[in-house]
Chain A
Amino acid sequence: MHELGIAFHIISEVDKIAEENNGVEVKSVTLEIGEVSTVVPKYLEDVWYWACEHKSTHLKNCKLNIVVTKAISFCNSCQKTYSTLEGKKCPNCGSEDTFLVEGNQTKIKSIEVV
């Protein structure tokens, strides 16, 4: 269960930030998850409230917002970008000399505190 570890990690990061802000209560956490990151948003949502309840100090009843960002690859042969979901092979010219530009990240974008 990959997402549980990620949830614990996010919670501990956010708890630290809450401490730095005089122990405020965190109302929501907004994450940005890339289309080809290894995190499945649905699974993260499933474990979120349980993890907040059991592992956090400042995130009781904290809402989770997830923004999924597009994954983009770049083709060295034709110098064009395309959606990574199309695969390793460039849909424009058929070359396999391509690499991921963005879309494998998981980021804590912002939090709302009271």
Chain B
Amino acid sequence: MSEVRTILLNRSIADSIEEEAEELRQELKKRKIFLLNVMSSPGSGKTTTLIRLVNLLKDKYRIAIMEADIDSDVDAITVARETGVKSIQLHTGGMCHLDGSMTRQGLEALDGEYDFVILENIGNLVCPAEFDTGASMNMVILSVPEGSDKPLKYPLMFEKSDLVLINKIDTLEYFDFDYNIVENFIFNRNKNAVIFKISAKNGTGVEEVSKHLSSLIDKWRS
């Protein structure tokens, strides 16, 4: 009869998730790959925004996209069709977020040489903010119909994101969305945040975002 023995560990889950993500980030830095983690609510226009950005940047960089969803491959198909860049779908099997190890699996599945990889995270303003994916930068998209109060209600998301896109500004006249208020809320959470106003639908402001991203990518890869 074998004996039961106890092994004391006292290991923090958050620390080990962070370590795994940090390891991936350093590895990507060495391989000169800029990984952008894109987060937002469902329906904020992530896919449409990314298609615009990729089309502006694809001649300069070798780009690939990882689309994370609980199910379906509709996003990966759309992105591949509209941009022509390599696009894969990651299924989380019911999970609400991605972490470093899942991101690593996605990167391995991409199979190829890339300068700029975009991770379109699960549409959710809560959980994705709590798990470091190992990305070089976090970007959040907030759309006008969602309202100006979102940085108050989902503070961690706006603390963790250094790049904020306010999307659907072409619909401003139909909603009670106050840009000055939202800007204040965002800076209260993250004074280093860089904010852009865009309309992914008609293309307003997207070129400025692509230029900003381009300088971030060049800096990361230098």
A residues with CB within 8 A of B = 1-2, 4-6, 9-10, 12-13, 17, 21, 27, 38, 105-114
**Known A106-B14, A107-B12, A107-B13; contact A21-B96, beta-carbon cutoff 8 A:** no
**Residues on A with beta carbons closer than 8 Å to the beta carbon of B17:** 9
Give the Cβ gap from A43 to chain B, nearest Cβ, in Å. Answer: 11
Q: How far is the CB of A18 from chain B (nearest CB, A)?
A: 9
Q: For chains A and B in complex, what number of residue pairs have CB atoms within 8 angstroms?
A: 70
Segment of B1-9, B142-150, B162-170 engaged in the interface with chain A: B1-9
Is B10 an interface position by the 8 A CB rule? yes
- On whether A4 and B94 interact (CB within 8 A), knowing A106-B14, A109-B8, the answer reads yes
Residues of A within 8 A of B11 (CB): 13, 107-108
Within 8 A of A (CB), among B179-221: none
Contact A113 B7 (CB under 8 A): yes
Main secondary structure of the interface of B (DSSP, over half): mixed
* Contact between A105 and B94, CB atoms less than 8 A apart: no
Q: How far is the CB of B93 from chain A (nearest CB, A)?
A: 8
Tell me the chain B residues, 1-44 only, with Cβ under 8 Å from chain A: 2-14, 16-17
Q: Which residues of B contact A38 (CB under 8 A)?
A: 130
- Inter-chain CA distance A111–B10, complex, in Å, is 10
Partner of B6, one of A107, A108, A110: A110
B13 near A108: Cβ-Cβ < 8 Å: yes
Q: A106-B14, A113-B6 are in contact. List 4 more A-B contacts (CB 8 A).
A: A1-B95, A110-B6, A111-B9, A113-B7
Minimum C-beta distance from A31 to chain B (A): 8
Closest to A16 in B: B16
A5 close to B131 (CB less than 8 A): yes
8 cross-chain CB contacts under 8 A = A4-B94, A10-B13, A13-B13, A17-B7, A17-B9, A38-B130, A108-B9, A111-B6
CB closest chain-B residue, reference A10: B13
Contact, CB under 8 Å: B5 / A113? yes
* List of B residues within 8 angstroms of A21 by Cβ: 7
CB of B1, distance to nearest CB on chain A (Å) = 9
Are A6 and B13 closer than 8 Å at their CB atoms?
A: yes
Contact A5–B97 (Cβ < 8 Å): yes
> CA separation between A5 and B13, bound complex, in Å?
11
CB–CB A4/B7 < 8 A? no
Q: For the complex of A and B, list the 4 residue pairs with the smallest distance between their C-beta atoms, beginning with the closest.
A: A106-B13, A108-B11, A110-B8, A114-B2
Closest residue to B11 on the A side, CB-wise? A108
Which residues of B lie under 8 Å from residue A109 when comparing CB positions? 8-10
Q: Mark B121-151, 1 if CB is under 8 A from A, else 0.
A: 0000001001100000000000000000000
Q: When the two chains form their complex, are residues A110 and B7 in contact, meaning their CB atoms are under 8 A apart? A: yes
Q: Which of A5, A10, A105, A106 gathers most chain B CB within 10 Å?
A: A5
A108 and B14 CA atoms in complex are apart in Å by 11
| Residues of B with C-beta under 8 A to A13 | 11, 13, 16
Residue B99 CB within 8 A of the other chain: yes
Question: What is the bound-complex CA distance between A57 and B191, given in angstroms?
Answer: 45
Q: Is the CB of B4 within 8 A of A2?
A: no
Question: Which listed residue (A5, A110, A114) contacts B95, Cβ 8 A?
Answer: A5
Bound together, the chains give a CA A48 to CA B6 distance in angstroms of 20
